[in-house]
Structure formats: structure tokens, C-alpha cells
Amino acid sequence: MQKENAYPQQSLLKSTGLHILPGALVTLGFILFKPLLDASGYPPLFAFLLAILFVDLPVMWGILLYEGWKKNGRLSLDGVVLFRDKLTWKRFLLVFIGAFVVAYLLIMLAAPLTNILTTSVFSRLPEWMFLEEQSQYQAYAKNVLIMVFTFQLVLTGVVLPWTEELYFRGYLLPRITRYGKWVPLIGGVLFGLYHSWQMFGFFSVFLLGVVLGYVVWKTRDIRLSISLHVAANAFARLAFLLAAIAM
């Protein structure tokens, strides 16, 4: 296991900018794509997914591969995505189960705070920005919802969390390890700020980011946070798809 000072470091200002930039661009893309799709028969969620596909993923992969090109002279993540130690499968499974339960309980505890933010601070946001509000989907055809929710399951249930872990916990988090025990907390705050399209859910995202950051910081095994994030996202997205199929 590498020591804290063995990792290349970034200024906190640079790290903050690299956290916020992809999310800010996604939010802008979401807002711009939405009116273009209003007459298409697809829900606003589809506009958000297009913003993820054409803005968020290219930005994060672009930064990762650019850093790889600078370091290695080729499109490679060697020396860019860190925390590559490998736990034994027994320990991996135990940590995975424990972290998943802790993350679930923390997010449930944060639900009242999310409700407060939604009904007070962010109450003036248009209803279509609250993508997890199921009532907005009742106006759309079943086949459309199945297609969109399947797309969501693949994109934000698997591809996006995998990429986010490489970017946030594999690339950015190791570069602020000089802050020691504060690293997971700082990473959680910045991960919450990245989700600027859903700031009403800041506390839930923050807590998830803290758990993912802590697990990776302690174990140095990026596979753990990837597995946890994909499992959490895919589970939530699968629920939407099954609900649409059951309509």
C-alpha cells in the first residue's frame, strides 16, 4: 500500500474545478436539450440522459485520457487512475456488503433533509428537473418509458458510475490525500457539488460520496467503489424499469 505522500497532488482549487466542471456542463446540456425534445413524446429524463451521453462522459474521459497522454505519451490510464491495490475476494465481499448497508442507511436518514431542500430552497425549480418524481411519467406511453428506462439503466446504472469512480475516486481523490482523514469528507462535498442538476439531493449524494471515498481511501482498491456505485445506481434504475413494465 502506498503512503499518502507517494501520490501526485493537486491544489484544492484545481480539484474543486475538476469536480464541478462536468456537472455544470451536464446541467447546462440538460436545460438546453429539454425544450428541443418537448414535442418528441419523450420525458425530460431523455434530455438528461443525452446530456450525460454527449457531455458528461466525454468531458470526464477526455480529461482522463488527456492526463494519460501527457504522462505516458499514449491513450492510457496508467499512473492516472490510482488506488489499484487488490483485496482478497473474501475481504472484498465483506467490505462491499458492509459499505453497501452503511450507504443505504445513511441515504435513508438523509431523506428528510432532501425533502426540506426540495420543498423550501429548491421549490421554485421546474417540476421536470425532479427526475425521480414518478408522477411526471404518467403522461407518456408505456413503450416510450420502457425504452427510456432501459437506456437509463445501462447509461446511469452502469456506464456512468463506473466512469465516475475512475474519475472522482481513481483520479481526483488520490491527489488530495495530503489532507489525511479529511479526504473522504472533502471528496464527498465535491462529489455533491458535481451533481449540480440535483442539488436538492445534495445530502444523499454527499453521504454516498463519503462512503465511496472512505472505502477507497482505506483499501486502495478502486474496484470496491466501482462495484458499490454500480450496484447502488443499477438497483435504483432497475426499479423504474420494472415499474414501467408492470404498467
Quick check: 95 and 215 in contact, CB under 8 A? yes
Residue 2 has pLDDT above 60, yes or no: no
Question: What average pLDDT does the chain have?
Answer: 95
In this prediction, residue 134 carries a pLDDT of 86
Residue 107 has pLDDT above 70, yes or no: yes
In this prediction, residue 5 carries a pLDDT of 60
pLDDT class of 246 with cuts at 50, 70, 90: confident
**What CA dihedral angle connects 105, 134, 20 and 163, to 10 degrees?**
80
Neighbour-count burial for 94-106, b at 16+ CB within 10 Å, e otherwise? ebbeebbeebeeb
CA 55 – CA 23 distance, rounded (Å):
9
Per-domain boundaries in the chain = 4-245
The partner residues of 221 in beta bridges, in order of sequence, read 84
Question: Any residues with CB less than 8 A from the CB of 13 and at least 6 apart, and which?
Answer: none
CA 39 – CA 156 distance, rounded (Å):
24
Least confident of 1-5, 30-34, 229-233: 1-5
Quick check: 230 and 158 in contact, CB under 8 A? yes
Q: What are φ and ψ of residue 221, in 5° steps?
A: -115, 100
Q: Pick from 106, 100, 80: which is nearest to 18 by CA? A: 80
Average pLDDT of span 81-95: 97
Q: 37: which DSSP letter?
A: T
Model pTM score: 0.95
Taking the alpha carbons of 70, 76, 81, 86 in that order, is the dihedral positive or negative? negative
CA 36 – CA 131 distance, rounded (Å):
17
In this prediction, residue 84 carries a pLDDT of 96
- Please report, rounded to a whole number, the percentage of residues in the chain having pLDDT higher than 70: 98
